[in-house]
């Protein structure tokens, strides 16, 4: 595996806790964030965004595979 910076690992850990439905206040305490906006900035929402994009795209395609 390639090296990862400690700060990036911290972001990944917070994001993994979110994906596992760990309580937001607990995630904030673990991360040391007192502000919701700061916490959200350092929590990655990629999985949700990708799922939403796929759902939106699905609604715009036809049965023959063309858009």
pTM exceeds 0.75: no
Per-domain residue ranges of the chain: 6-58
C-alpha–C-alpha distance, residues 1 and 57, integer Å:
33
C-alpha–C-alpha distance, residues 43 and 17, integer Å:
9
User: Tens place of pLDDT for every residue, the chain, 67 residues?
Assistant: 678 788 777 878 888 888 788 898 998 898 888 888 877 777 766 666 667 777 778 776 655 555 5
Work out the widest C-alpha separation in the chain, in whole angstroms. Answer: 50
| The pLDDT of residue 31 | 84
| The pLDDT of residue 56 | 79
Q: Which residues contact 45 (CB under 8 A, 6 or more apart)?
A: 15, 18
Using an 8 Å Cβ cutoff, are 35 and 6 in contact? Answer: no
């Amino acid at each position: 595996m390639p090296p990862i910076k400690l700060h990036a690992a911290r972001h990944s850990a917070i994001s993994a806790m979110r994906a596992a439905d760990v309580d937001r206040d607990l995630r904030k305490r673990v991360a040391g964030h007192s502000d919701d906006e700061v916490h959200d900035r350092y929590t990655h929402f990629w999985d949700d965004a990708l799922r939403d994009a796929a759902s939106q795209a699905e609604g715009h395609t036809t049965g023959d595979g063309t858009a």
